[in-house]
Chain A
C-alpha cells in the first residue's frame, strides 16, 4: 500500500533554459534590417513606411510577411530571414 501521498504531475515537466540574448546593435547603419509584417490589419502600411524611412537613411531593409498573425511563423519564413538579415523589426499588434 502506498503510504506516501503522491500526485502525478499534470504539466509537461519542461525545464526552462536561459539563453543569452544577442547584444543590441549600437546602430543600424551597415546592417541588413528585416521588416516583418505579421498581417495585422493595416500593419502592411506601417511596416512598409518604416522600411521606406530606413532606406531614406541609407540602410538596407528587407521586407517579409507572415501569412497570418494567428499562427507562429512558418519554418521556411524563419529560415529565409536567418542569415539574410542582421536584425528584425516585428510589429505585434494592430
Chain B
C-alpha cells in the first residue's frame, strides 16, 4: 500500500458529488482511494467498493468537513492537503495524476457538508465531544410545555423566553473567545460567582444572537464593578435599572439602533442585550421584584434599556471616547437610570436658546429643589445636534455652557423655599450650587432624523460615592 492515500467525503444529494463519481472510480482503479465517506446514502457512489457509511457524520465532524465533495490527501494517516468541491487541477495534483476527469468541466463548487447544516455543528459537538457545560441540566417531561416550564421555574421577567438548550448555549458561547468557565464577577444580591456560561444561558433566554455575547459580557462586568452599586440599585425603592449605551464599531456590526425609536421596540440587539443583563441579575444574582428588588414603581426599562450612540459622523466626540476609550474601539457605558423625560423645543435656532431650554429642563431632574443628587444623561437628537453643528459647538462646549446655566442660587434650593418642603439644608443659602456633581451629566447623540425632540434619562437619586457611578468598559471579543 502506498504511503500516500486519498479519501473523499460526499453526499448523494449533491450534484457535484454525482458529477465526480467517474473520477472517484478512476482513483479507485488506480488504487489511490482508500475510502469514500458518504453522508446520506451508503450505496453512493454505487461503483465504489470502499464506501463507508458516515450518516452519523462522525468522520465529517472529526475532519471538520465544510464542503462536499472534499478530497483529502493522507500521508501515513495524517492529512496533508485537501480540495473542496471539484477542481480538476487540484484533484490531479493531490492524486499525482496528469489525466483526471478530462470529460468534466474544469471546476464546480461543492455543496454544504451535512455536518454544518444549521444547528448541526453544536449537535455533533455534543454527540462526539460532549458539551462541556457545567450548568445543571433540567429535564423537561414529554408532556410538559417547555415555555410554561420556564415561567413556572421563575426564570422569566414576565415575557416568554427562548429555551436554553445545550445546543443553543454552545452556539451562544461561540460568540466569545472567553472560556465558558471563566468567572465574570459576583452578581448581587446573592453575590454568587457568575461564569461566562451562565451569562450565555441567560443571553439565550433573552433572545440574543451569539455575536451579541461580547457586548452582554461587557455590560454584565460593568454593572458588577463596585462603583456601579448594582446591589443598592436593585434594592432601592426608587425607579432605576441599568441603562446600557453602546459605542464603537460593534454597534454597526450587530446592527444596533441609534436612530429612529432608539429607546423603543423593534431592534433585536438593543432589546435582547439589555434583557440578557437583567436576566443575569434575576437568575444568577437572585434579584427579583418583591425579594431584594424593592422598587415602589420600577420603570419599563427594567425589562431592557439598551441603545447605541449615533456616531454616523465625527461632529461630536462619542461618549466612550469622552470616558477614556480609544477611537475605533467598542465599549459599553452603564448608567443607573430611570425613564425617558422628553424635551420639546421646536423653536430654538441658536445654540444659546437651545442650551437654555435644555438646562431649564434638566433642573427638574429628581426634583426642581435637588442638586448634587441624581445624575442624568442628555440625549440629543439629530435636528437639535444640527443647531450646534451650524454654530460649531462641540460636545465639550455644550457641556461647559450647560454647566454655567445649571448653577443655582442656594436660597432657591433650601428646604421650604418656593413653597416646596423638599430641598437642601439652610447652609446652602448664599452659595452657588451646581445641579449636577462633576461628571454627573453625560451627553449622548441618538434619535431619528425628524423631530426637534431630545430627552433626559434621569439617574438614581443616590449617585457617586453614596450610590452609583456610571461605568464604561471596553468590549473585547
> Does A70 contact B202, Cβ atoms closer than 8 Å?
no
Top 3 A-B pairs, shortest CB-CB distance? A70-B232, A9-B136, A12-B192
Does chain B have a CB within 8 A of A20?
no
List 5 extra interface pairs beyond A8-B138, A70-B232, A70-B462, CB under 8 A.
A2-B123, A7-B165, A10-B201, A69-B462, A70-B229
> Does A70 contact B236, Cβ atoms closer than 8 Å?
yes
CB distance from B416 to the nearest CB of A (A): 15
> Does A8 contact B140, Cβ atoms closer than 8 Å?
no
CB distance from B427 to the nearest CB of A (A): 15
> Does A6 contact B165, Cβ atoms closer than 8 Å?
yes
- Residues of A contacting B202 with CB < 8 Å? 10
Does chain B have a CB within 8 A of A13?
yes
Q: List 14 A-B contacts (CB under 8 A).
A: A5-B165, A6-B137, A7-B150, A8-B138, A9-B201, A11-B284, A12-B187, A14-B192, A68-B462, A68-B465, A68-B466, A69-B232, A70-B462, A71-B232
The docked-state distance in angstroms from the alpha carbon of A4 to that of B144 is 12
The docked-state distance in angstroms from the alpha carbon of A48 to that of B241 is 33
Instruction: State the main secondary structure of chain A at its contact with B.
Output: loop
- Residues of A contacting B139 with CB < 8 Å? 4-6
Most chain B C-beta atoms within 10 Å of own C-beta, residue among A7, A9, A71 = A7
Does chain B have a CB within 8 A of A45?
no
- Residues of A contacting B163 with CB < 8 Å? 7
Q: Which residues of A contact B (CB under 8 A)?
A: 1-2, 4-14, 39, 68-72, 93
CB distance from A92 to the nearest CB of B (A): 10
Interface residues contributed by chain B, number (CB under 8 Å): 46
The docked-state distance in angstroms from the alpha carbon of A42 to that of B52 is 81
> Does B467 contact A5, Cβ atoms closer than 8 Å?
no
The docked-state distance in angstroms from the alpha carbon of A71 to that of B233 is 9
Contact A8 B285, CB 8 Å, known A70-B236, A70-B462? no
Does chain A have a CB within 8 A of B362?
no
Using CB atoms, name the residue of chain A closest to B141: A5
- Residues of A contacting B137 with CB < 8 Å? 6-9
Using CB atoms, name the residue of chain A closest to B336: A70
The docked-state distance in angstroms from the alpha carbon of A13 to that of B231 is 19
Does chain A have a CB within 8 A of B283?
yes
